[in-house]
Amino acid sequence: MEQHDHAAHVGYSGDKDQIIKRLKRAEGQVRGLQRMVEDDTYCIDILTQVSAATKALETVALQLLDDHLAHCVTEAAQQGGDVAEQKVREASAAIARLVRS
Amino acid sequence: MEQHDHAAHVGYSGDKDQIIKRLKRAEGQVRGLQRMVEDDTYCIDILTQVSAATKALETVALQLLDDHLAHCVTEAAQQGGDVAEQKVREASAAIARLVRS
Amino acid sequence: MEQHDHAAHVGYSGDKDQIIKRLKRAEGQVRGLQRMVEDDTYCIDILTQVSAATKALETVALQLLDDHLAHCVTEAAQQGGDVAEQKVREASAAIARLVRS
Amino acid sequence: MEQHDHAAHVGYSGDKDQIIKRLKRAEGQVRGLQRMVEDDTYCIDILTQVSAATKALETVALQLLDDHLAHCVTEAAQQGGDVAEQKVREASAAIARLVRS
């Protein structure tokens, strides 16, 4: 209950199922990577799969960011003042971490 | 004049001098790269300089994005409606291009 | 048995335990992300964790590449000819995928 | 003369003209960015151009790396010993800088 109420306040509420589905797929890819290493799979084939897993995580990050801008940042902007500024600063820092990772 | 008036409406107005200074430095780095190639500089040393130029451009991009969120997106959010949604969509697409480049 | 013999031929044989340990940690991070989403954790905190998981995978990729250059590519170079050329082409393509992902 | 002799020893000798052409184009893009900022171009349009310039530099980097592996690293591998190991270590470090930039 508590949680359901809270859910209304995170930007990604509407995309929760899709995000979890994507993360489960990424988890499967990372587990698949372990099997590949254990089976002495050729390095290049493992690298291809690492790129796929990285891309999957990137897609999740971009979806979360889009939801965050569309909800949390937008609402803060409507309130204005310090909260709005802080949300933008926070979002920019998260974008910088993503771009540099 | 026109232009000066217009300047008030771009998110990065306050940071214009700094952004141009950074771009001039990046331009110098790219010109330096041409000299390095012409002088048959060792590949690895050129690669180090390419990474530096790429990072300089990334810093400009992150600054522009921060300004864009702090001004254009924030103002659109305050107006609400379709404009707000469109600005977020546009910003998210620009972030995706940056993360993937 | 078969497999153990084969192990001698992959570039990362000597780092296998460390790579699997890192992948297990990355898997734990991705599972942690699912819990964070289920618990309606604040978007920005999830994004921080996504960046951490992406970095962990990147570290694995760079380790695999280093091993690949040090063993597979080096051995192919010593044989020379088409095999050497093909290995370099393959490694370059894998590097391009990583840089662009 | 000196230089021409030296040219034979860098990995990218055969691609020099193409690399310089690409760098000149990247320089033009960075100069174009300065004009865009001076003309108060819309942030998002500038960001699109920054991504294009970054991609152009990335392409140069990947070409240099490919040439480096195909020539310098391959030749060092054929010599074997410490030189070979050092070249691989150096190439891996350059790849890591690129992946993380």
Tell me if A9 is assigned to some domain: no
A54: nearest CB among C3, C58, C90: C58
Whole-model pTM: value is 0.90
Tell me if C38 is assigned to some domain: yes
Chain D contact for B88 (CB, 8 A cutoff): no
CA A6 to the chain's CA centroid: 19
What's the CA gap between A60 and D43, in Å, rounded?
A: 25
Q: Which domain holds residue C67?
A: 15-100
Q: What would the mean pLDDT of C83-98 be, rounded to a whole number?
A: 95
Rounded to a whole number of angstroms, the distance from the CA of D21 to the nearest CA of chain A is 27
Burial D1-30 (b: 16+ CB within 10 A, else e): eeeeeeeeebbbeebeeebbebbeebbebb
Integer distance in angstroms from the first to the last C-alpha of chain A? Answer: 36
* Count of pairs with CB atoms under 8 A, one residue in A, one in D: 3
Rounded to a whole number of angstroms, the distance from the CA of C27 to the nearest CA of chain A is 6
Chain B contact for C100 (CB, 8 A cutoff): yes
What's the CA gap between D68 and B43, in Å, rounded?
A: 6
ipTM of the complex: 0.89
Q: What is the DSSP letter of C1?
A: -
The answer to whether residue D73 scores a pLDDT higher than 50 is yes
Sequence-distant (6+) residues with CB within 8 A of B65 are A92, A95, B91, B94, B95, B98, D43, D47
Tell me if C71 is assigned to some domain: yes
Tell me if B3 is assigned to some domain: no
Closest chain D residue to the Cα of A51, Cα to Cα: D99
Tell me if C32 is assigned to some domain: yes
Tell me if D4 is assigned to some domain: no
Does the distance separating the beta carbons of D57 and B50 come in below 8 Å? Answer: yes
Tell me if B64 is assigned to some domain: yes
Chain D contact for A35 (CB, 8 A cutoff): no
- What separation in angstroms does the CA of D2 have from each of A88, B39, D72? 55, 10, 20
Query: What CATH number is associated with residue D44?
Result: 1.20.58.1000
Which tens digits make up the pLDDT trace of A15-54?
A: 999 999 999 999 999 999 999 999 999 999 999 999 999 9
* Total domains in the fold of chain B: 1
Share of chain C above pLDDT 90, in %: 87
Q: List CB contacts (< 8 A) between D70 and chain B.
A: none
Chain A contact for D99 (CB, 8 A cutoff): no
The answer to whether residue D12 scores a pLDDT higher than 80 is yes
Closest chain D residue to the Cα of C75, Cα to Cα: D77
* Count of pairs with CB atoms under 8 A, one residue in C, one in D: 64
Strands in chain C per DSSP E? none
- The C-alpha angle with vertex D98 and arms to D93 and D101, in degrees rounded to 5, equals 120
The answer to whether residue C67 scores a pLDDT higher than 60 is yes
B8: pLDDT confidence band, cut at 50, 70 and 90? low
- The C-alpha angle with vertex B54 and arms to D86 and B52, in degrees rounded to 5, equals 50
Rounded to a whole number of angstroms, the distance from the CA of B52 to the nearest CA of chain A is 13
Amino acid identity for residue D99 in this structure: V
Tell me if A1 is assigned to some domain: no
Amino acid identity for residue B59 in this structure: T
